[in-house]
């Protein structure tokens, strides 16, 4: 395969709400460039982009996929990202690898929540973008109302460059507003509209250049060459966002889009200076995307391929990477030697000798390199800050169904979390549950489906247990004597304990107040050990005891029958007796919650948080959204991701972090205690 330069490459990321048609657009671009002999279709399960068996089954994109097509001397790398909100981490990881985005909007469904979320990610990255209005052949497709909505939502800089010829089932082509190619298919009314849109596009472009604007305002005719020159600059600077249109499944408007990608979309060389950090001095370093520079790049995606193992997908920032050599992973400070390099075409890996500045490639079986890691030559170490993280919003507990599944699950989950950074795996130290966390119900359901289909691991899925704790509200003194005689040597331990509450977060204190040797020195650690063992299992509902001080202030012993075990048992039984007299209560974890929503949902979300025993701490502006800050018990938030999506039509998001423990109200505590006792009985039987 030919080696392309930083000027002849275009890196394009496709962004949209799920089902808007970006995967069909990717397939159509490959077909139009004769990269494939047959147009792939999502509904037939033969798309180049959606090749994962789970994607084919669900008919949605789940993973970002990388493809390329060649037009003349230009290579177009296409990164097709999922539109479903649960897989937004795929988009976030891939955006740094692109130089421009195409936002696909369905002509029938308009601007949906996935489009808005994707646009927000592009805004954060300051990435230039174009818009492609798809599905113009469908019933009720309305190009002009969609354009109005786009301008209202995303700004007046969104300017159509093409208009549709025909409508709905009679849609047959596109008309270029600048060259007037295709205008012969427009009727008189449409030509009048086209003239107005043409004038609007030229004015939008002229506003990006003072000289051109002055000429335009003076009524002088602007040449095609002048308009195209400024448009190219304005597009890169995001001051003009061109709007394309078409129907990918019939390849209408796709040829025109490809032509403009080649002629107007920014190449990697247009990115200017790319910032990194010297790993030793922490000083800023600037690189330029040129092949004659030292090698530097970063991994933006990891794929678990069933045949070649782990594939690391990377973008080369400068210089070039050659097969069968080595690089330094600056993130881990490890040297990696590798074999064959590849470029990707969906699920295919095509071998290449070299991947040069601005291009995207892949390499198999790297030992210590993962998504977000920086790669450079040994002489030019630089760290790129391209990794991103989002807190998961929902968790499931997993229990392997068989011993065989138990042996395989850790390895399977490790591979899955390497591939999908939106997934987190943990083991709750209190409940002993294996917890899988992700961005939403669909995200976790797909992960569990993948566990079974790819790794042959079967699990039972549940809602994670809330890690309640127990404590007390008053000080008590308690005495317990453990005495047992059974023929031979007996058991004897006698303790007097004072049990007191500590401030929240005080955990546990053991105090030795014994005087006069009533309990010998060697048995005092046994008393503490007995108390600690009993605290683990709790007293009233089986949850750990916390925030208590236990003082041993008296006791007695037997010279023959006293032992370490006797004092442990005596201390544990004394603790149990004392806790029941010390006004025991349950504590629950309370979370800091931040909910980001549109202003129209404020009342509903505030009311819902209150119904969950939440306390709203404040509200603040977050761009054009509102952020509600609240503290809510964890037990009320276990299914919140699904509920919030339902309440806001998918337009709300939230994050959550632990705040503190506080007392469970009496009514809720009674339910929890009775449920705990019922579960205990079931386990016994």
pLDDT (0 to 100) of residue 564: 93
pLDDT (0 to 100) of residue 272: 81
| 516 CB-near residues (< 8 Å, 6+ apart) | none
Side-chain-side CA neighbours of residue 251 (13 Å): 13
CA 258/CA 165 separation, integer angstroms: 19
pLDDT (0 to 100) of residue 625: 79
CA dihedral 571, 576, 580, 583 (to 10 degrees): 60
Question: In CATH terms, is domain 394-462 a member of 3.30.70.870?
Answer: yes
CA 6/CA 319 separation, integer angstroms: 10
In degrees rounded to 5, what are phi and psi of residue 222?
Answer: -90, 135
pLDDT (0 to 100) of residue 548: 97
CB count, 10 Å around CB of 585? 18
Separation of first and last alpha carbons in the chain = 68
CA 451/CA 77 separation, integer angstroms: 30
pLDDT (0 to 100) of residue 379: 84
b/e code 510-523 from CB counts within 10 Å (16+ = b): beeebeeeebeeeb
Is residue 474 a contact partner of residue 499, using CB atoms and an 8 Å limit? no
| 126 CB-near residues (< 8 Å, 6+ apart) | 238
Fold of 9-184+240-270: Rossmann fold (3.40.50)
CA 395/CA 401 separation, integer angstroms: 19
pTM (global) more than 0.95: no
What CATH class does 587-667 carry? alpha beta
| Helix residue ranges per DSSP H, 157-283 | 188-206, 210-217, 224-236, 254-264
| CA of residue 9 relative to chain centroid, distance | 28
What CATH class does 273-376 carry? mainly beta
Mapped onto helix, strand or coil, the DSSP state of residue 391 is coil
Is residue 242 a contact partner of residue 129, using CB atoms and an 8 Å limit? no
pLDDT (0 to 100) of residue 642: 85
CATH of domain 469-582: 3.30.230.10
Burial degree of 41 (CB within 10 A; 0-12, 13-18, 19+): middle
CA 574/CA 494 separation, integer angstroms: 9
| 448 CB-near residues (< 8 Å, 6+ apart) | 396, 398, 436, 459, 461
Q: Do domains 394-462 and 587-667 have the same CATH topology?
A: yes
Name the residue among 52, 71, 60, 58 with its Cα closest to residue 12.
Answer: 71
Is residue 519 a contact partner of residue 527, using CB atoms and an 8 Å limit? yes
Name the residue among 245, 261, 232, 263 with its Cα closest to residue 12.
Answer: 261
Average pLDDT per block of 10 residues along the chain, 685 residues long: 84 94 95 91 86 84 93 96 88 94 95 88 94 95 94 94 94 94 90 93 92 89 91 94 95 96 94 87 91 93 84 94 92 90 94 95 91 91 84 88 89 90 89 90 91 92 93 96 80 95 94 92 95 93 95 93 94 96 95 89 94 93 83 92 86 85 93 85 60
Name the residue among 490, 564, 478, 565 with its Cα closest to residue 521.
Answer: 564
Give, for 671, the enclosing helix (H) or strand (E): helix 666-684
- Nearest-5° angle of CA 112, CA 117, CA 119? 95
In degrees rounded to 5, what are phi and psi of residue 17?
Answer: -70, 155
The domain segmentation of the chain, as residue ranges, is 9-184+240-270, 273-376, 394-462, 469-582, 587-667
């Amino acid at each position: 395969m030919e080696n392309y330069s930083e000027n002849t490459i275009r890196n394009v990321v496709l962004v949209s709400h799920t089902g808007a048609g970006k995967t069909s657009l990717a397939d159509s671009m490959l077909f139009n460039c004769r990269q494939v002999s047959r147009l792939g279709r999502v509904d037939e399960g033969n798309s180049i982009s959606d090749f994962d068996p789970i994607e084919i089954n669900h008919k949605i994109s789940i993973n970002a996929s990388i493809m390329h097509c060649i037009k003349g001397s230009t290579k177009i790398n296409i990164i097709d990202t999922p539109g479903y909100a649960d897989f937004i981490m795929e988009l976030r990881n891939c955006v740094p690898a692109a130089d421009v985005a195409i936002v696909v909007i369905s002509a029938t469904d308009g601007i949906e929540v996935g489009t808005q979320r994707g646009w927000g990610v592009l805004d954060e990255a300051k990435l230039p973008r174009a818009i492609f209005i798809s599905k113009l052949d469908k019933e009720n497709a309305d190009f002009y109302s969609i354009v109005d909505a786009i301008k209202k939502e995303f700004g007046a800089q969104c300017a159509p460059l093409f208009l549709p010829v025909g409508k709905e089932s009679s849609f047959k082509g596109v008309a270029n507003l600048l060259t007037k190619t295709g205008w012969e298919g427009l009727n008189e009314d449409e030509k009048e509209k086209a003239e107005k849109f043409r004038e609007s596009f030229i004015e939008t472009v002229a506003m990006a250049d003072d000289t051109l604007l002055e000429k335009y305002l003076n009524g002088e005719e602007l040449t095609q060459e002048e308009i195209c020159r400024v448009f190219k600059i304005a597009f890169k600077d995001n001051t003009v966002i061109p709007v394309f249109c078409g129907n990918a499944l019939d390849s209408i408007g796709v040829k025109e889009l490809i032509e403009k990608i080649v002629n107007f979309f920014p190449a990697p060389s247009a990115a200017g200076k790319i910032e990194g950090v010297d790993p030793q001095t922490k000083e800023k370093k600037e690189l330029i995307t040129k092949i004659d520079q030292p090698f530097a790049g970063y991994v933006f995606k990891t794929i678990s391929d069933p045949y070649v193992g782990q594939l690391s997908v990377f973008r080369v920032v400068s210089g070039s990477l050659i097969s069968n050599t080595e690089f330094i992973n600056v993130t881990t400070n490890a040297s990696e030697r590798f074999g064959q390099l590849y470029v990707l075409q969906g699920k295919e890996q095509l071998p290449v000798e070299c991947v040069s500045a601005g291009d995207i490639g892949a390499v198999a079986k790297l030992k210590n390199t993962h998504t977000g890691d920086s790669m450079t030559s040994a002489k030019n170490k630089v760290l790129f800050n391209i990794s991103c993280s989002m807190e998961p919003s929902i968790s499931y507990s997993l229990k392997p169904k068989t011993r065989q599944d138990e042996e395989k699950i850790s390895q399977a989950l490790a591979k899955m979390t390497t591939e999908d950074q939106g997934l987190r795996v943990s083991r709750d130290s209190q409940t002993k549950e294996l917890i899988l966390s992700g961005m939403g119900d669909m995200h976790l359901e797909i992960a569990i489906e993948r566990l079974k289909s790819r790794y042959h691991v079967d699990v039972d899925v549940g809602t994670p247990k809330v890690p309640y704790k127990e404590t007390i509200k008053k000080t008590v003194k308690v005495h317990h004597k453990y005495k047992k005689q059974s023929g031979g040597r007996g058991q004897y331990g006698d303790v007097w304990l004072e049990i007191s509450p500590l401030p929240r977060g005080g955990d546990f204190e053991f105090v030795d107040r014994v005087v006069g040797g009533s309990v010998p020195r060697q048995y005092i650690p046994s008393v503490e050990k007995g108390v600690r063992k009993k605290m683990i299992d709790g007293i009233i509902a089986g949850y750990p005891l916390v925030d208590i001080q236990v003082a041993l202030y008296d006791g007695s012993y037997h010279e023959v029958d006293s032992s370490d075990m006797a004092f442990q048992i005596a201390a544990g039984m004394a603790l149990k007796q004392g806790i029941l007299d010390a006004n025991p209560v349950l504590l629950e974890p309370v979370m800091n919650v931040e909910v980001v929503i549109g202003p129209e949902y404020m009342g509903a979300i505030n009311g819902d948080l209150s119904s969950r025993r939440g306390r709203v701490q404040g509200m603040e502006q977050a761009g054009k959204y509102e952020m509600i800050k609240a503290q809510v018990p964890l037990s009320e938030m276990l299914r919140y991701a699904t509920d919030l999506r339902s309440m806001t039509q998918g337009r709300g998001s939230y994050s959550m972090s632990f705040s503190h423990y506080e007392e469970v109200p009496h009514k809720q505590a009674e339910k929890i205690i009775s449920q705990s006792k019922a579960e205990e009985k079931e386990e016994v039987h």
